[in-house]
Amino acid sequence: DTDMIRRDHIDKKDDPAAAEQRMIDYAPMKRISTPAEISQGVLYLASFDARFVTGVALPIDGGSTAGH
């Protein structure tokens, strides 16, 4: 749960718990990612291990891109 989710994905008139549940229901993994899960992808792309990775988009979305 982050401020970005609250700011960008939850209608201000909507019940926050209901909006969050809709997001969870839509997600193939049936949960919202943690900041740590997102940061692992970012850290990999910024690391020496990814030195030969160029021009890539790495969706860290729990399968939402592939599943919908």
pLDDT in tens, 6-48: 666 565 677 778 888 988 999 999 999 999 999 999 999 999 9
Q: Which residue has the higher pLDDT, 17 or 3?
A: 17
Query: What pLDDT, on a 0 to 100 scale, did the predictor assign at position 4?
Result: 66
Q: Are 44 and 50 in contact (CB under 8 A)?
A: yes
What tokens appear for 28 in the block? 């193939």
Gyration radius of the chain over CA positions = 15
Tell me the domain boundaries of the chain: 3-67
pTM above 0.85, yes or no: no
* pLDDT tier, 60 (very low <50, low <70, confident <90, very high otherwise): very high
Task: Give me the pLDDT at residue 5, please.
Answer: 64
61: which residues sit within 8 A by CB, 6+ positions away?
Answer: 27, 33
**3-class DSSP state of 45:** helix
